[in-house]
Amino acid sequence: MISTSMKNVSKAFGKNQVLRDVTFETQAGEIFGMLGPSGAGKTTIINILTKQTSEDSGTVRVDATSQEIGLMLEDDGMFPTLSALDNLIVYEDIYGIPRKRTKEVMEQVGLWEARKTTSESLSKGMRQRLVLARALLHKPKIMFLDEPTSALDPVTARGIHQLIRDLRAGGSTIFLTTHNMEEATNLCDRVVLLHQGKIIEQGNPKEICRRHNSVKTVDDLESVFVKLTGGGLT
Amino acid sequence: MRNVKAIFKKQFKGTIQNPETMIQFAIFPALAWLMGFLVVTDFYGIPYDIAAMMAANMPNMVTMQATIFAGMALIPVVTSVIAGDVERKSIRFLTMAGVSPMSYLIGVGGVILLAGFASSVAFSFIGGFEGRDFWIFTAAMMSGVAASTVLGAIFGVMTSNQQSASALSMPAAIVLGFGPMMAQMNENIARYLHPIYTQQLNVVAEYLERGYSGTPLWQAFAIMWANVAVICLLFALVYHKKGLTG
């Protein structure tokens, strides 16, 4: 069952063409990765799918209402002077969720002990986990995670990977963007490689690696990307 | 209603944890009391009865401070709160969760109105209004507080960060806050400012002080609530234009 789809979508900001004829679809219950370097257009795709910006042309479909979506963006949107728990209570009240669920989610992300700490006093990793907790509080149908592990230490990143897998096991569709090829290889069921606003390859990460003869001791999606794009700075 | 309650709770916790905001609601009534006290008692070397007569011919200190509070103090407070939510993209997340502009405004504004109500009661008390007059002046103050709250919200939503928000809101706050003070000294200014809600606070105070004569109360309140309606409409337009309606 299709969860989200884009067909021939293009988007420009002024003279800057950010997306060119982008076409893909995600299936319900999969971890779908959108890969590419900074400025490739990954965040714009999330913004279009979550109706924060509109496409110039093409068709977009998302099989969920805005309340059925969980969001983790670069800007965390937390209320800095409120405690970690109070930040989640805002959304608990909005969604009408029992406190038990909030506690369960905070324990799941390992923040229950730090529940009284204001969000501005949390470390970067803890804040990322709090943002993830907010995104999954209402058991969303689709989760959009924009660079969920950027600037995190490997241990915290692994913890978040496990949470993402647990969410998939619970039936959610995960749509994540990353420029970390290794993360995508290990985590995603399917990926799209995006370069200068254009899709240059898509499929199962391990199959893509095999297709491009890039299987070393581990599947090496990064060298596929470098090979496909020429590897220079753009 | 659930969304309004959620935003109100969030704002209430945020406001009471922020002494810089809380002090705005106390400092203006305190200043009004102090100025009123000094005007009557501290004309150095002048006999008390003459000083009282002079004070009676001076602008009303309580009304002056009340209009400055309703216009000048509240607008930057609300602007700063909302611009902070815009800057951190908190509004974006709230909108995605289904919070409408009106729910957000009522939730945030409700806390400001509550604190503004406490200040308004203090102004009515300090102004020496009694019985029915006490509640008429408090109601007039609350109308001004409501208008300034929504106006502050417009500036907050219009800008992308707190710094530019205060740059935008301060000129309007100064005109709305100090304009009625100048109107107490100059009839032309009073005429030009007549359609503005803060000037109507002067009008209401004058009506009460003159023993129910002058511009009728209904007219003053009608002007103030027409201001509130127009400002609410502008808020909805700006919120929509900024693409925050989901």
10-residue stretch averages of pLDDT, chain A, 234 residues long: 90 91 92 88 91 91 90 89 94 94 91 92 89 91 89 80 88 90 87 91 88 66 72 50
Q: Are residues A21 and A123 in the same domain?
A: no
- Count the alpha carbons within 13 Å of B10 in the hemisphere toward its beta carbon: 33
Q: Report the residue from B3, B14, B97 with minimal CB separation from A79.
A: B14
Examine residue A217 and state whether it is found in any structural domain, yes or no: no
Q: Are residues A103 and A123 in the same domain?
A: yes
Q: Are A114 and A126 in contact (CB under 8 A)?
A: yes
Q: Are B144 and B205 in contact (CB under 8 A)?
A: no
Examine residue A227 and state whether it is found in any structural domain, yes or no: no
Question: Using CA atoms, how far apart are residues A231 and A42, in angstroms rounded to an integer?
Answer: 18
Q: Report the residue from B93, B94, B246 with minimal CB separation from A51.
A: B246
pLDDT of residue B245: 57
Q: Are residues A43 and A155 in the same domain?
A: yes
Examine residue A70 and state whether it is found in any structural domain, yes or no: no
A133: amino acid identity, one letter = A
Examine residue A89 and state whether it is found in any structural domain, yes or no: yes
Domain map (residue ranges) of chain B: 2-241
Predicted model pTM: 0.80
Which of B4, B93, B95, B242 is the best residue to mutate to test the A interface, defined by the most A CB atoms within 10 Å of its own CB?
B93
Q: CA-nearest residue of chain B to A134?
A: B93
Q: Report the residue from A81, A91, A95 with minimal CB separation from B14.
A: A81
Q: What are phi and psi of B162, to 5 degrees?
A: -65, -35
Distance of CA A146 to the CA centre of its chain: 4
Examine residue A17 and state whether it is found in any structural domain, yes or no: yes
Q: Is B2–A75 a contact, with Cβ atoms under 8 angstroms apart?
A: no
Question: Using CA atoms, how far apart are residues B185 and B168, in angstroms rounded to an integer?
Answer: 27
Q: Are residues A1 and A59 in the same domain?
A: yes
Distance of CA B66 to the CA centre of its chain: 8
Which of B72, B38, B221, B246 shows the shortest CA–CA distance to B142? B221
Q: What would the 3-class secondary structure string for chain A be?
A: CEEEEEEEEEEEECCEEEEEEEEEEEECCCEEEEECCCCCCHHHHHHHHCCCCCCCEEEEEECCCHHHEEEECCCCCCCCCCEHHHHHHHHHHHHCCCHHHHHHHHHHCCCHHHCCCEHHHCCHHHHHHHHHHHHHCCCCCEEEEECCCCCCCHHHHHHHHHHHHHHHHCCCEEEEEECCHHHHHHHCCEEEEEECCEEEEEECHHHHHHHCCCECCCECHHHHHHHHHCCCCC
Predicted-assembly ipTM surpassing the 0.90 threshold: no
Chain A to chain B Cβ contacts (< 8 Å): 69
A66 in reach of chain B (CB within 8 A): yes
Q: Are B197 and B226 in contact (CB under 8 A)?
A: no
- In the predicted model, residues of chain B with pLDDT beneath 70 are 39-59, 243-246
Q: Are residues A198 and A156 in the same domain?
A: yes
How many CB atoms are closer than 10 A to CB B28? 23
Q: How many domains does chain A have?
A: 2
Strand segments (E) across chain B? none
Q: Are residues A85 and A97 in the same domain?
A: yes
Residues of B in contact with A73 (CB under 8 A): 89, 92
pLDDT of residue A144: 93
Examine residue A165 and state whether it is found in any structural domain, yes or no: yes
List of residues 6+ apart from A40 with CB closer than 8 A: A194, A195, A196, A197
Q: Is A73–B89 a contact, with Cβ atoms under 8 angstroms apart?
A: yes
| CATH number of residue A28's parent domain | 3.40.50.300
Domain extent at residue A91: 79-139
Q: Are residues A58 and A159 in the same domain?
A: yes
Residue ending a domain, among A139, A155, A171, is A139
